[in-house]
Amino acid sequence: MSAEPESWRPKLALASASPRRYALLQQIGITPDIVLPTDIDETPLKGEKARALVTRLSREKAAAALRVARADPALKDSFIIAADTAVSVGSRIMPQARHVDEAANCLRLLSGRAHRVYTAVVVITPKDQVRQRIVDARVRFKRIAGPELEAYLASGDWRGKAGGYAIQGLAGSFVVKLVGSYSAVVGLPLYETASLLLGDGFPMHLTWGNTI
């Protein structure tokens, strides 16, 4: 029996402008039909912990994208994917580094110690059912010597990154140990995302035969 044509696949909207999340979806054979970046305030609430933050923000991103998608006839039956990632040391949430001093402060705090990376993924189905998973990974950095830190800061690889680093970038050389999902630390937990999509009938395997 021949496979169903790819045109049967429902559309999928990614509620993120992150090229990393887009590439991670492509890694498992899914190319979003549209990117719907959201403009929401990502400032943690007073006393809010990292797990609660990513839970809230991923839902807010998904809801904002849903409003746009459902107003477009071409996307009214689409799946929505949103995610949010936070880095924390103890109860302290690390910022998304915008300035070199901010990145330096983050890396000095992370140097030689363990931290946690929380990523929440939300899938909204064509019937507007909301599914969510939260993934907790533990990462330990080596002690980052002064010259190495200076070289890293000069690279600019820290810009806009939670905690001042991206594990898939130059800072991957700082990682002594990772317990949990690598893809979640990058920005989208692939196992959980695939499970959510498959559980609600998204035919993500349709194009796998054409990827080799």
Give the C-alpha separation, 61 to 39, whole Å. 8
- CA–CA gap between residue 82 and residue 62 (Å, rounded): 5
Q: Write down the H helix ranges in the chain.
A: 19-27, 50-70, 100-110, 146-155, 182-186, 190-199
Question: Which residue in 84, 101, 128, 157 is the catalytic one?
Answer: 84
Cβ–Cβ contacts within 10 Å for residue 179, how many?
Answer: 11
Rounded CA separation 35/54 (Å): 20
Residue 72 is among the residues annotated as catalytic for this protein: no
Catalytic center residues: 84
